[in-house]
């Protein structure tokens, strides 16, 4: 049985663990949190293939993949990977789920052989449902490591995309961030409130982008003339829109409005994450069934 060592058992680590188990891997968790054993027992009841390691070196020894999901701080990730490389052989893929820290930085203090094994494998939350994994090799990551990471994520039914350059936020979060900035500005200006902004997104771009891509949408938006027609017509006008940064001083008011709209606290988190998971599962199932039936 292949083995994954999950380092950091927070939101992302536990979800990776569930995905790996679904695909028949054994899972060992490492995390200094005092409630680790209870957390694992609660999430994987009675599953002997899921274990908790006494320390990091023990967790990663003999693993085919190490998936690191500790805090998003460079010095912590550098420390973790220094221990991980010392305790693993040359064929173990060492991946970080980091949303923003490049593999080149994490490996900065390590020798070439160690750096060759480290790659970013950035999931979208929750990894067990969201297909995308951004695979981002560092300057010294070997092609073999990147290829192996891609093969593992594919075998877990994910959709890995290998990026050509390391950039803060990679691609998906850069796009989310641009959209988020404009959304904040629109709410600040009183164009829409928080609930209306979400209604607009869910009923337009969200639905569209779960079925076709952004550039693919450009082809369709131009009719039979395609993207060429769209860029010359509507695109020429929308391309001149001026954008503004949201005001940092307005963040507290925005957060108040978000909390007033959706609530806050553990019960709200449980309720909203259950809604998200049910709906995401339903969309994925519908897309898979449609593809099986129609080929599209
Ligand atoms: N939350 C997201 O939406 C999201 C999405 C994609 C990627 N990520 C990335 O995943 C990583 C984890 O994020 P999260 O949201 O799961 O955070 P989280 O705060 O839920 O979990 C972090 C876990 O790391 C543990 N930890 C602390 N020090 C540690 C150490 N020395 N060794 C091992 N574990 C340690 C904590 O106890 C905690 O359980 C981050 O790098 C983040 O950028 C997060």
Ligand 1 centre and the CA of 81: distance in Å?
14
Two domains, one topology: 3-162 and 172-264: no
- The structural domains of the chain, with segments of one domain joined by +, span 3-162, 172-264
**Using one digit for the tens of pLDDT, what is the confidence trace for 29-76?**
999 999 999 999 999 999 999 999 999 999 999 999 999 999 999 999
**∠ at Cα 287 (276, 69), nearest 5°?**
45
266 by Cβ neighbours in 10 Å (0-12 / 13-18 / 19+) ranks as exposed
Q: Which atom of ligand 1 is nearest to the CA of 100?
A: 43
Ligand 1 centre and the CA of 295: distance in Å?
38
Its CATH class, for the domain covering 3-162, is alpha beta
Domain 172-264: give its CATH architecture: Orthogonal Bundle (1.10)
Looking at every residue in the chain, the average pLDDT score rounds to 97
Alpha-carbon span 40 to 68, nearest angstrom = 16
CA 134 to chain centre: 7
Alpha-carbon span 120 to 106, nearest angstrom = 10
Pocket (CB within 6 angstroms of ligand 1): 7-13, 30-33, 69-72, 76, 80, 97-99, 122-123, 125
**Using one digit for the tens of pLDDT, what is the confidence trace for 98-149?**
999 999 999 999 999 999 999 999 999 999 999 999 999 999 999 999 999 9
Ligand 1 centre and the CA of 294: distance in Å?
40
């Amino acid at each position: 049985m292949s083995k994954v060592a999950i380092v950091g058992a927070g939101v992302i680590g536990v979800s990776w663990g569930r995905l790996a188990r679904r695909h028949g891997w054994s899972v060992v968790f490492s995390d200094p949190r005092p409630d680790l054993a209870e957390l694992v027992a609660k999430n994987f009841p009675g599953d002997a293939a899921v274990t908790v390691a006494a320390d990091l070196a023990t967790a990663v020894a003999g693993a085919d993949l190490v998936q690191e999901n500790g805090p998003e701080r460079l010095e912590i990730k550098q420390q973790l990977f220094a221990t991980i490389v010392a305790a693993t052989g040359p064929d173990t893929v060492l991946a970080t789920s980091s949303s923003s820290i490049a593999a080149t930085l994490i490996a900065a203090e390590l020798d070439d052989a160690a750096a060759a094994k480290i790659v970013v494998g950035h999931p979208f939350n929750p990894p067990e449902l969201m297909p995308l994994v951004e695979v981002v090799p560092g300057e010294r990551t070997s092609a073999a490591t990147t290829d192996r990471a891609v093969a593992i994520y594919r075998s877990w039914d994910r959709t890995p995309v290998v990026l050509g350059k390391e950039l803060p936020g990679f691609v998906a979060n850069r796009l989310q961030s641009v959209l988020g900035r404009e959304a904040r500005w629109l709410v600040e200006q009183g164009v829409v409130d928080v609930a209306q902004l979400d209604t607009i997104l869910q009923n337009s771009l969200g639905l569209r982008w779960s079925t076709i891509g952004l550039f693919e949408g450009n082809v369709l938006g131009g009719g039979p003339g395609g993207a060429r027609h769209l860029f010359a017509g509507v695109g020429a006008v929308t391309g001149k829109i001026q954008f503004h940064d949201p005001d940092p001083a307005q963040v507290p008011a925005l957060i108040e409005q978000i909390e007033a709209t959706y609530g806050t606290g553990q019960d709200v988190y449980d309720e909203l994450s259950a809604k998200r998971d049910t709906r995401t599962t339903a969309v994925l199932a519908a897309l898979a069934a449609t593809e099986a039936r129609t080929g599209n």
